[in-house]
Chain A
Amino acid sequence: MTAPILILGTGLAGYNLAREIRKLDKTTPIVLVSRDAAPFYAKPMLSNALAGGKTAQSLVMKSAEKMAEELDARILAHRQVQAIDPAARRVTLDGGESLDYRDLVLALGADPIRLPLTGDAAADVLSVNDLDDFARFSARLEGVKHIAILGAGLIGCEFANDLLARGIAPTVLDPAPWPLGRLLPEAAGAFFRARLEAAGATFRLGVAASTVNKGASGYRLELNDGSLLDTDLVLSAVGLRARTSLAASAGLAVNRGVVVNRQLASSDPHIFAVGDCAEVEGLSLPFVMPIMQQVRALAKTLGGTPTDVSYPPMPVLVKTPAIPTVVAPPAPGQAGEWTIETTEDGLEALFKATDASLKGFALLGSATARKQALTPQLPAQL
C-alpha cells in the first residue's frame, strides 16, 4: 500500500490543503491528525461570532466525519503527535502508534503569546485561538458587563467590537500609542480609535497590565503606570507564535516559523509546512489569503508538478463593523511616506515610495470602497 500524505493539523490550512489535493488527485491516501475533535470551522470568525449570534456549535461548518467523507481521507481526532522521524518518514502519536508517510505537511498553527503576568488570577486570563477556546470564552460571558482586552492589534480590536454587540463594554490595553499599531499609521489609528470609542469601547494605550488579582467581584488589574482597573473578565490577544517545537525536535530548520522555501518544503525534502506555523522565504503572514495561495501551490507540488507559491497583493479586512477597515501594510523596511486624506466618514492613507509608486494603504470607513481600485497598484508580496 502507498504511504499517505500525512497532514498534521485540521485548521484552515490542513483542511484546505486536503481539499486542493483532492481536486487534483482522487487516489493518494490522505491522513489528517488533529489534537481536537477536528471540526471544520473558519478561525477568523471567532472574533466576530457574537454579533452574528453564533455559538461554538453553530460555527462548525462540517464535522470531522463529514470532512472525512468529502475528502475521502482518514481523520484521527483527539490525537497528539509525539515525534517525527524524518529518516524513516514516520510520525509517532501519543500511545505509541506510528504512521508512515510519503510526504508530511505541518499545518500546526500558532499558539497565543502569553504575557508574563503576576497575581493570583493570572491563570484565569483567557485567550481565544481555537473553537474549544471560544466555547470556554463564550460560556464565561453570562452576566459580564465589562471586559479587559490585553492587546489592541487586529484580534483584540475585533473582539472589542464584537463584545459591544453583546452589550459588554471593553477596555483595550496596549503599550503601543495607537490601536492596530503595526498596520495603521498614527492618524489612521486615531481615526479608528475614535470610531470604536464612539461605539462604546475604551482604549488605554501606552500602558500594559502587569498583575491580575481576584477582585471583590471579578478581577483587579494592576497596570504598569500604577493605576488599577476592575473588570469582570480578562481576554489576552497579544499575538501569535508559530508552533515550531515539533519541527525543531525533528532537526528541521526553524526561525520564527518552520523555515520553508517557495515550494513550502522545509529543510527535509519530504516535510512541508503551511499556514501560521510556516515561515515562507522569511514571511509569516497569519491570514487566510496567504494560506490559500500556499495550499493551491503545495497541492500541485505534491501532485508531481513542483510549483512556487506566489503572493499577490493581499489586503486584510479588519472585521470591526463600527469602523470597517482594510489594510495593506508596506513591506518592512520599505522606504516611503504616508499621505492621509480624511473625510467626514472615512480615511484614506496611502504609503508611497519616492518614485510615487503605491507600496501600502489603510482604508477606513467609506474609503474602503477604494480597495478594488488600489489593490492592483500594489506590488506582489512574493
Chain B
Amino acid sequence: MKSFQCIVCGFIYDETAGLPAEGIAPGTRWADIPEDWACPDCGVAKSDFEMIEI
C-alpha cells in the first residue's frame, strides 16, 4: 500500500485508509481511482498527484 500526495496543496491519499468521504473504500489502489477524480482539498486533477514515501 502506498501514499500519494497532491503537488498543489499537499493532500495525501493513503491507499490503506482509502477515502470513505469520497466513496473510495479502504484498500483502493491509486490506479483504480477514476481519472476524473479530483483532490478533495483543492480540486486539482488526479494527474497532479505524485507518489511519496510513507
Assuming the contacts A44-B9, A288-B9, asked whether A369 and B20 have C-beta atoms less than 8 A apart, the reply is: yes
With a CB–CB cut-off of 8 A, which chain B residues contact A324?
20-21
Interface residues of A in 260-277 (CB under 8 A from B): none
Q: Mark B7-26, 1 if CB is under 8 A from A, else 0.
A: 11111100000001111000
Tell me if B9 and A368 are in contact (CB < 8 A): no
Q: Which of B8, B40, B43 contacts A19 (CB 8 A)?
A: B8
Tell me if A288 and B20 are in contact (CB < 8 A): no
With a CB–CB cut-off of 8 A, which chain A residues contact B28?
none
Q: How many A residues touch B, CB cutoff 8 Å? A: 23
Chain A residue at minimal CB-CB distance from B10: A42
- Most chain-A Cβ atoms within 10 A of its Cβ — which of B12, B41, B54? B41
Given the complex of chains A and B, what is the CA–CA distance between A368 and B22 in angstroms? 8
Tell me if A317 and B40 are in contact (CB < 8 A): yes
Chain B residue at minimal CB-CB distance from A287: B41
With a CB–CB cut-off of 8 A, which chain B residues contact A61?
5, 7, 10
Q: Mark A30-44, 1 if CB is under 8 A from B, else 0.
A: 000000000001101
Assuming the contacts A326-B21, A369-B21, asked whether A44 and B10 have C-beta atoms less than 8 A apart, the reply is: yes
Q: Does A16 contact B (CB under 8 A)?
A: yes
A-B contact count (CB 8 A): 52
Chain B residue at minimal CB-CB distance from A42: B10
With a CB–CB cut-off of 8 A, which chain A residues contact B6?
42
Q: Does A372 contact B (CB under 8 A)?
A: yes
Q: Does A52 contact B (CB under 8 A)?
A: yes
With a CB–CB cut-off of 8 A, which chain A residues contact B33?
none
Tell me if A368 and B41 are in contact (CB < 8 A): no
Given the complex of chains A and B, what is the CA–CA distance between A12 and B44 in angstroms? 13
Q: Does B42 contact A (CB under 8 A)?
A: yes
Given the complex of chains A and B, what is the CA–CA distance between A92 and B11 in angstroms? 35
Given the complex of chains A and B, what is the CA–CA distance between A371 and B21 in angstroms? 6
With a CB–CB cut-off of 8 A, which chain A residues contact B43?
289, 292-293
Chain B nearest Cβ from A12, distance in angstroms: 6
Given the complex of chains A and B, what is the CA–CA distance between A99 and B12 in angstroms? 37
Chain A nearest Cβ from B32, distance in angstroms: 16
Tell me if A288 and B21 are in contact (CB < 8 A): no
Assuming the contacts A289-B42, A292-B42, A372-B22, asked whether A52 and B8 have C-beta atoms less than 8 A apart, the reply is: no
Tell me if B9 and A52 are in contact (CB < 8 A): no
Assuming the contacts A324-B20, A368-B21, A372-B23, asked whether A292 and B10 have C-beta atoms less than 8 A apart, the reply is: no
With a CB–CB cut-off of 8 A, which chain B residues contact A363?
21
Given the complex of chains A and B, what is the CA–CA distance between A42 and B9 in angstroms? 5
Having A42-B6, A44-B10, A369-B21, one finds 13 other A-B pairs with CB under 8 Å, namely A19-B8, A41-B10, A42-B10, A42-B11, A44-B11, A44-B41, A52-B54, A289-B43, A291-B42, A292-B44, A368-B20, A369-B20, A371-B22
